[in-house]
Amino acid sequence: MENMDPVDLKILKILVKDGLATNKEIAAQLNLTTTPVHERVKRLRRDGIIDKYTIELNRKHLNRNLLVFCNVSLKEHAFEYLERFEKDIQTLPEVVECYCISGGSDFLLKIIVADIDDYKSFILNKLSILPNIANTQSQFVVKDVKQSSILD
């Protein structure tokens, strides 16, 4: 972030809120012309500050009403076991995020499914059959309180 200035940060905040904002729209909000906005966005992408553009889906409109955080502890912690788990978890579409964490468990999974029956099926038929899993602990989201990006 050493080459970023307040204008760069404003551009990023606009793009975080609306990834489809055009250079013209951004320029209008910042009282700039489109050329410097275009050049700044291009530099932010080139420097890896803007990693990718994505969309955020409303999971409830897609019949994915249950959001679960699942702590996973492994039996063995040698590198090959960790690597195998990380590879296997990539194949499970219900797992939308996976983090290797410190503390009482080894991994934290963010899982999105239709309902509790769907989650039960996921646990019994997909997650629990992965090798080397010692324990799982699930927490069900009752209410979404805050979701934001690092620049909100």
Of all residues in the chain, the percent with pLDDT exceeding 70 is: 98
Q: What is the pLDDT of residues 40-51, one digit of tens each?
A: 999 999 999 999
Q: What is the chain's Cα-based Rg?
A: 20
Check: CATH 1.10.10.10 for 6-46?
yes
Residue 3, pLDDT score: 77
So what's the pLDDT on residue 148? 81
Categorize the per-residue pLDDT at 90 as very low, low, confident or very high, splitting at 50, 70 and 90.
very high
Question: Looking at residue 56, what is its pLDDT?
Answer: 85
pLDDT of residue 129: 95
21 or 56, greater pLDDT: 21
Task: Locate the domains of the chain by residue range.
Answer: 6-46, 59-140
What kind of architecture, by CATH, is found in domain 59-140?
A: 2-Layer Sandwich (3.30)
Check for a shared fold between 6-46 and 59-140.
Answer: no
Query: Which pTM was predicted?
Result: 0.85
43-48, Cβ contacts within 8 angstroms, sequence gap of 24 or more? 43/3, 44/8, 44/11, 44/12, 47/3
